[in-house]
Amino acid sequence: MSFVKHRDSPHSHPRAARALVAALVAGAALLAPFAVAAPAAAHSSLVSTTPETDGTVAALPAEVSLTFSDDLTEPLPEDQQAGGRSNTQVQVYDASCEDAGLLIADPGHADTRDCTDYASGNAVVDGPTVTQALDNANAPAGVYTVVWQVVYGDGHADSQMFTFTAESAAATPSPEPTSTPDPTSSPAPSEVPSAPTETDAPDASAPPADSGLGTPAIIAIVGGIVVLALIAFIVTMIVRARRP
């Protein structure tokens, strides 16, 4: 009501203030995404698969394995898994399973009820490698889809898939006692389930950010300079406009 400040060019002040606020808001909006996105995750990555991704093998082997760049988190003991479902899983489907590819791309629409999962028993984590034994008896020739889920060392879970081709059907079941519980892939028999070494204590101490000036930081700096230049330009225009 009783502001006395309206002397010279009454409208330039509000307009100038509004322009400045707008510039600041625009600058903040420009920079905000980079500030949030800066600590990009850099967990381990898939190094190799057996069978090789997109490779060809004679027939479906007795196991598949995947090796990552760093040690994986061991699956929880079965009685501690949510809904009895391990967070470390490898499923292997043959070509008759039309929706296998959807399990990653569009899991909600994947119908694998009629599919045969050749996985036999639980996936076993050994350092950076996860191995899944297969029941390959009578497994047909054709393309196989391996759908996997692991938990990286930093606690992040990941699910992906790969395919390989079996040139011919696997041999008919041999009566060999391969199903007896033995450490399939680890040659050291000392690694048989001993006292669980409490890997289940969730490693929440993992630092959330991998520090380091990456591309986002550079973009933020450049963005800041641009915003400062913008503000300087606007202030210059205001000052110029206020001159008679």
| Contact status, residue 164 vs residue 148, Cβ threshold 8 Å | no
Shorter beta-carbon distance to Cu ion: residue 71 or 154: 154
Two structure tokens written together for 151: 């938990």
Shorter beta-carbon distance to Cu ion: residue 15 or 156: 156
Q: Cis peptide leading into 207, omega within 30 of 0?
A: no
Binding flag, residue 13, Cu ion (CB under 5 A):
no
**What is the distance between the alpha carbons of residues 51 and 66, in angstroms, rounded to a whole number?**
9
9 φψ region: left (φ > 0), alpha (ψ -120 to 50), beta (else): left
Shorter beta-carbon distance to Cu ion: residue 41 or 171: 41
Strand order in the sheet with 89-93: 56-57, 157-166, 142-151, 89-93
Shorter beta-carbon distance to Cu ion: residue 151 or 170: 151
Smallest distance from Cu ion to CB 43, Å = 3
Q: Which of 41, 218, 225, 229 binds Cu ion (CB under 5 A)?
A: 41
Two structure tokens written together for 20: 């400045």
Smallest distance from Cu ion to CB 42, Å = 7
What secondary structure letter does DSSP report for 170?
P
Binding flag, residue 154, Cu ion (CB under 5 A):
yes
Terminal alpha carbon distance of the chain = 28
Smallest distance from Cu ion to CB 66, Å = 16
The span of 19-27, 40-48, 74-82, 159-167 binding Cu ion (CB under 5 A) equals 40-48
The span of 8-16, 35-43, 55-63, 175-183 binding Cu ion (CB under 5 A) equals 35-43
What secondary structure letter does DSSP report for 30?
H
Alpha helices in 38-132 (DSSP H): 102-105
Smallest distance from Cu ion to CB 36, Å = 17
Shorter beta-carbon distance to Cu ion: residue 75 or 223: 75
Two structure tokens written together for 44: 């381990």
Smallest distance from Cu ion to CB 24, Å = 35
What phi, psi does 228 have (nearest 5°)?
Answer: -60, -45
Compute how many residues bind Cu ion; rule: CB under 5 A.
4
H/E segment holding residue 159 = strand 157-166
Binding flag, residue 37, Cu ion (CB under 5 A):
no
Smallest distance from Cu ion to CB 242, Å = 54
Smallest distance from Cu ion to CB 132, Å = 22
Q: Which of 15, 18, 156, 242 binds Cu ion (CB under 5 A)?
A: 156
What phi, psi does 161 have (nearest 5°)?
Answer: -150, 160
Contacting residues toward Cu ion, per CB under 5 A: 41, 43, 154, 156
